[in-house]
A and B are shown apart, each in its own frame.
Chain A
Amino acid sequence: MYGMSQKLQHLLWRFGFGPRTKSWDNWASLPENTWWPKLRDESLAAKPIYFDVADSAVKGLLMGIGEIGKMERKDLDAADRKEIREKSRDNLRSLNLLWMEEMTHSKAQLREKMALFWHGHFASRNINILYQQQMLHVVREHALGNFGDLMRGVSKSAAMLAFLNNQQNKKKHPNENFAREVMELFTLGRGHYTEQDVKEAARAFTGWGFRLNGDFVFRKTDHDDGTKTVLGKTGKLNGDDVLHILLEKKETARFIVRKTYKYLVNDTLVPEDRIAWLADRFYDSGYQIMRLLEDIARSDWFYAPENTGNKIKSPVELWVGIRRALPLELDNPESQMVLQRALGQILFFPPNVAGWPGGKNWIDSSSLMLRLRLPQMLFAQSDLDVDTKDDDDQQMGQSRPNIAKRGFAAAVEWQPVLDLFKKTPEHELTTTMAQYLWAMPNPKPPVSILQQHTDRSHRASLVKTTLIQLMATPEYQLS
């Protein structure tokens, strides 16, 4: 067994979902300077496959009608819309679970980790499965590519246009929602534009809409082709022009860099000179996301103690990380939906267009206790004994289907864990395992307490219960 390098830990947690027990030895045996290129290249090796989970009936309704050239929405009657809604609700769960499987098993860790970031950045709640899976693909496809392409793709997606009401943004009745959020949340941030800029930009986006099948459409008759002034640029601006103007602003690079830094490096300590340096290079590269990631990964400060083991994992990071460390197969995968809901991060259902706030916001009494009890529940094969809140946007006043799916029984594959610590002498076991599971630079677990609460009757049970208890700690909540 190779050493429990905290440096490798850190890299795999921040640019992925943590080490995978089955491949730790392989990673750790490689020279340190090959870790980042390996991580990067494994994500660039292949394009993401399109997750297509939409029910064929939904596709028939949305795509069929679009193709034979009928008009929009009006042609769907109430029964059609109900069917789309109900099928979408089920299909969205499938998409959610499928994506988590990908995060857990994919070698493209960096891509999926960044896709999760962009999923929160370009947050949209939309119960139409076709639009959501299209949007997810845009995000995964461009997660490591060019930010401009990503933003344009998202801005022209049905999911976002619908969520931010741009279908209603017409020459005669401008709707500012989309224009406002593009500036406030996607590019510049508050304070770098005026209300007048929002008004003018909204006019430029008039006519941007989508067909029933999700394709972007520019409706010329709804477009205001008059002269506008946005952020000092004047002309007969259209939506693409506005996005271009936003990318020309250095503030967009700074905004994106700051947020990325908080996600990957440190969510409280953000040195502005470092942000400025990264933003300059990001901007000069023409918004190449990989430029930014390389700059972070290859820096010394990325590994500095103040940036290590001090970020509270999001619920999805925590759970996917557990599954990578402890290979398991749930009898009832849908129980993971209960988990997401109870811990406050349901993929495809961000709290609002600002995304998940993160950091300490993940933690309150009940979410912390559930996080701590989770490994023990897995070990005991017990049910998830939490009731979660209803979501009226999804349920439309109906009682929740499948509410009883809380069984948390799983077939745990212990052998890789036992193998990994095969040669660790018993008196070093707690500390060595803590080094593997905890992300802080030099973990010092309270050995005697942990020993008192582990099953020491056999070597195997000792390793198992030590792992469970080390995961059931405040330390394990951090990456």
Chain B
Amino acid sequence: MLIKRRDFLKSSSLATASLMLPKFLKAFEAPGVLPFKGKTLVVLQLSGGNDGLNTLVPTRNDIYYKQRPRLAIKQADALALNSECGLHPSLTGLKSLWDEGQLAILNSVGYPNPDRSHFRSMDIWHSASPADRYWQTGWLGRYLDAQCAGNAPTKGSCSSVALELDDTLSLALKGEQVKGLAMQDAQKLHRATRSPFFTAYSEAHGPVHDDEAPIDYLYKTLAETLSSAEYLFQQSRKKTLAATYPNTSLGKSLKTIASLILADTDTAIYYVSLGSFDTHVNQGGQQKRLFVEMNDALAAFAKDMKANGKWNEVLVTTFSEFGRRVSQNASGGTDHGTANLMFFMGGGLKQQGLLNPLPDLGDLDEGDLKFKVDFRRVYATLLEGWLGADAKTILGEAFEPLGVV
């Protein structure tokens, strides 16, 4: 068979070619155990260190207004939740969820000996390691390890059980044995993988049962990726979404997530990031822009899930690697801080509203908030209360769960 340069390019991954899913990849679709019972977790990472104090504003706190003469949000502008606090004015959708009892807020989440480097602190949040340890796997990746040992989902592969909406995979989703899958959208992943060469090559090698040796691990990852890409692509096209989503990066990602949820995809965890919240300079405009993007996308997503009867089975949670200092800096911004708040949104919350007191601005650690809740307690809650997993195995020690789910 003669093929020319153009055909060669077609046969590689650089051009889309429609192909039947080869037989051996279908093997991954064989009926198996379905360990994932329909509950979906959406993790929204606010990268860069979101300023929690201007997210949930302590509208009656003199220290807050004194420390932030230029940056503080006026009581009249905040979306009042109660007599003590209100949300950032852009978070109107979250306010609606609050009114409907579908929002919970946990204050002062953090960990001992906080690190102020973005990368290191994010590393700690992703791996869920103690601050003085370096772990090479992520908490959701270890969830995959635990869930996928001996169990295969019915469709796709184990890696598509946790999906990151991006081109590269975060540490949070990397397990020892199983790693989640990263894709900006299903079509892009499909385009990158539907190569006759890769498919034929992978097929010629045949299925891999033991992935101990590096070469087997590589072949297994390849086969699973091709299989997942095909599966997710088909799933993403199953339902035509009636809802409209904002034409922003987060809007598009949540739309992709919605299309997969509505198609009953075997994905338990969706992971998506928004940033950068690193507001050292002119915080007001930057945080507002990001909050508008976040708010509008989340509002559309919540509305869509409700309209389709899925909202009770979806939990959205947000986190940031750290909060910011209580005082404003000289550039109209704030510098790296410590403890921060987390949001929980969904129709199935067991507790709503403020889960604990607002941070005590009168009791600071060198100008920073003191953490009151270890973030690993939140992870334990999500793993056990929502995903039905064994949190102790995944986190390496037992943390007292909270009651929010």
Which residues of A are interface residues toward B (Cβ below 8 A)? 78, 125, 180, 268, 310-312, 341-342, 344, 349, 351-354, 357, 359-361, 363-369, 372-373, 376-377, 379-380, 382, 385-393, 395-397, 399, 440, 446, 449-457, 461, 465, 468-469, 472-475, 477-478
Query: Restricting to B1-50, which residues have a CB under 8 Å from any CB of A?
Result: 1-5, 7-9, 11-14, 47-49
Q: Is the CB of A392 within 8 A of B5?
A: no
Query: How far apart sit A183 and B181, CA to CA, in the bound complex (Å)?
Result: 36
With contact pairs A365-B224, A366-B183, A465-B8 given, residues A397 and B276 touching in the complex (Cβ less than 8 Å): yes
| Bitwise interface map of B from 231 to 261 toward A, beta carbon under 8 Å scored 1, else 0 | 0000000000000000000000000000000
Q: Are A352 and B123 in contact (CB under 8 A)?
A: yes
Q: How far does the alpha carbon of A87 sit from the alpha carbon of B13 in the complex, in Å?
A: 38
Task: Decide yes or no whether B286 CB sits under 8 A from chain A.
Answer: yes
Interface string of B90-110 (1 = CB under 8 A from A): 000000000000000000000
Since A268-B214, A455-B4, A457-B4 are in contact, a sample of 15 more A-B pairs with Cβ atoms closer than 8 Å, ordered by chain A residue number, is A310-B213, A360-B214, A363-B221, A365-B182, A367-B168, A369-B193, A382-B14, A392-B275, A392-B278, A393-B119, A449-B204, A453-B196, A454-B8, A461-B8, A478-B215
Contact partners of B1 in chain A: CB under 8 A: 451-452, 456
A-B pairs with the 8 shortest C-beta distances? A397-B278, A474-B218, A392-B118, A354-B134, A364-B179, A376-B12, A365-B225, A357-B136
Report whether B197 and A469 are in contact in the complex, using a CB–CB cutoff of 8 Å.
yes
Contact across chains for B47 and A392 when beta carbons are under 8 A apart? yes
| Residue contact A380 to B9, C-beta cutoff 8 Å | yes
Q: Which residue of A lies closest to B193 (CB)?
A: A369
Q: List 13 A-B contacts (CB under 8 A).
A: A268-B214, A349-B119, A365-B228, A366-B183, A373-B12, A376-B9, A377-B14, A382-B14, A389-B47, A389-B273, A390-B48, A455-B5, A478-B215
Nearest residue, chain A, Cβ from B278:
A397
CA–CA, A328 and B4, complex, Å: 23
Give the shortest distance, in Å, between A104 (CB) and chain B (any CB).
24
| Bound Cα distance A380, B218 (Å) | 24
Known: A386-B167, A395-B278. A478 touches B214 (CB 8 A): yes
User: In the complex, what distance in Å separates the CA atom of A382 from the CA atom of B394?
Assistant: 41
**Min CB gap A386→B, angstroms:** 4
Query: Is the beta-carbon distance between A449 and B214 smaller than 8 angstroms?
Result: no
- Assess A369 versus B192: contact at CB under 8 Å? Given A386-B167, A392-B47, A397-B286: yes
Residues of A within 8 A of B179 (CB): 363-365
Within 8 Å by CB of B14, from A344, A376, A386, lies A376
B193 / chain A contacts, CB cutoff of 8 Å: 369
Taking a contact as CB atoms under 8 Å apart, the answer to whether B169 and A364 are in contact is yes
Q: Which residues of B contact A468 (CB under 8 A)?
A: 12
Q: Are A389 and B13 in contact (CB under 8 A)?
A: no
User: Which residue from chain B places its CB closest to the CB of A180 in the assembled complex?
Assistant: B132
Chain B residues near A367 (CB, 8 Å)?
A: 168-169
Q: How far is the CA of A372 from the CA of B195 in the complex (A)?
A: 11
CB neighbours (8 Å) of A388 from chain B are: 167-168
- Distance of A54 Cα from B50 Cα, bound (Å): 33
Encode contact with A along B328-357: 1 for CB under 8 Å, 0 otherwise.
001101000000000000000000000000
Contact B218 A368, beta carbon cutoff 8 Å: yes
Residue B180 interfacial (CB < 8 Å)? yes
Q: Could you say which residues of chain A place their CB within 8 Å of the CB of B217?
A: 360, 363
Q: Mark B123-142, 1 if CB is under 8 A from A, else 0.
A: 10000000010101000000
Pick from B7, B225, B331: contact of A368, CB below 8 A.
B225
Interface size range on B against A: 35 or more
* Residue among A341, A359, A366, A385 making CB contact with B214, cutoff 8 Å: A359
Kindly list chain B residues whose C-beta atoms are within 8 Å of the C-beta of A390.
47-48, 275-276
How distant is A337 from chain B, measured CB to nearest CB, in Å? 14
Check A365–B14 contact: CB distance below 8 A: no
Q: Does B280 contact A (CB under 8 A)?
A: yes
**Residues in A whose Cβ lies below 8 Å from that of B263:** none
Q: What's the Cα separation between A357 and B192 when bound, in Å?
A: 27
B369 to chain A, nearest CB (A): 19
- Assuming the A-B contacts A364-B179, A365-B228, are A310 and B214 also in contact, with contact meaning beta carbons closer than 8 angstroms in the complex? yes
Shortest distance between the CB of A54 and any CB in chain B (Å): 22
With beta carbons under 8 angstroms apart, the residue of B12, B280, B331 that contacts A472 is B12
Is the pair B12, A380 in contact by a Cβ cutoff of 8 Å?
yes
Q: Indicate which residue in B182, B183, B192 contacts A373 across the interface (CB closer than 8 Å).
A: B192
Task: Flag whether B174 is at the interface (Cβ < 8 A).
Answer: yes
Within 8 Å CB of A312, what residues of B? 214, 218
B184 contacts A by Cβ under 8 Å:
yes
Verify B2–A456 contact, CB threshold 8 A.
Answer: yes
Closest to A388 in B: B168
Cα-based distance from A342 to B182 in the complex (angstroms): 12
CA distance A475 to B213 in the complex (A): 12
Which of B5, B123, B167, B280 has a CB less than 8 Å from the CB of A396?
B280
Q: How far is the CA of A396 from the CA of B329 in the complex (A)?
A: 14
A311 to B159, CA, bound (A): 23
- Say yes or no: B120 contacts A352, CB within 8 Å: yes
Which residue of A268, A357, A399, A453 has the most chain B CB atoms within 10 A of its CB atom?
A: A453
On chain A, the residues within 8 Å of B166 by CB distance are 387, 389
B351 to A: closest C-beta gap in Å: 32
Does B222 sit within 8 A of A, measured CB to CB? yes
Q: Which residues of A contact B224 (CB under 8 A)?
A: 365
Q: Is B117 an interface position by the 8 A CB rule?
A: yes
Contacts of A380 in B (CB 8 A): 9, 12, 14
- Whether B134 and A453, one on each chain, are in contact in the complex, defined by CB atoms closer than 8 angstroms, is no
Nearest A residue to B219, CB-CB: A474
Taking CB atoms, residues of chain A closer than 8 Å to B204 are 446, 449
Query: Residues of A contacting B213 with CB < 8 Å?
Result: 310
Residue among A369, A472, A477 making CB contact with B197, cutoff 8 Å: A472
Give the docked Cα–Cα distance between A180 and B159 (Å): 36
Contact of A455 among B8, B276, B333 (CB under 8 A): B8
Q: Which residues of B sit under 8 angstroms from A474, Cβ to Cβ?
A: 205, 215, 218-219, 222
Known: A310-B214, A395-B278, A469-B197. A461 touches B5 (CB 8 A): yes
B179: min CB distance to chain A, Å: 4
Q: B residues within 8 A CB of A354? A: 134, 136
A387 to B200 Cα, complex, angstroms: 28
Which A residues are in CB contact (< 8 Å) with B275? 390, 392
What B residues does A341 contact at CB under 8 A? 168
Scoring A268, A341, A387 by chain B CB atoms within 10 A of each residue's CB, the highest score goes to A387
Q: Is B281 an interface residue (CB 8 A)?
A: yes
Are B134 and A353 in touch, CB under 8 angstroms? yes
Tell yes or no: B279 within 8 A of A by CB: yes
Q: How far is the CA of A453 from the CA of B1 in the complex (A)?
A: 9
A477–B219 Cα gap in the complex (Å)?
11
Residues of B within 8 A of A353 (CB): 134
A399 to B290, CA, bound (A): 13
Contact check, B218 vs A363: say whether CB atoms are below 8 A apart.
yes
Q: B170 within 8 Å of A by Cβ?
A: yes
- Closest Cβ of chain A to B386, distance in Å, is 24
Alpha-carbon distance between A412 and B163 when the two chains are bound, in angstroms: 37
- How far apart sit A478 and B280, CA to CA, in the bound complex (Å)? 43
Whether A342 lies near B120 (C-beta < 8 A) is no
Complex Cα gap A342–B169 (Å): 9
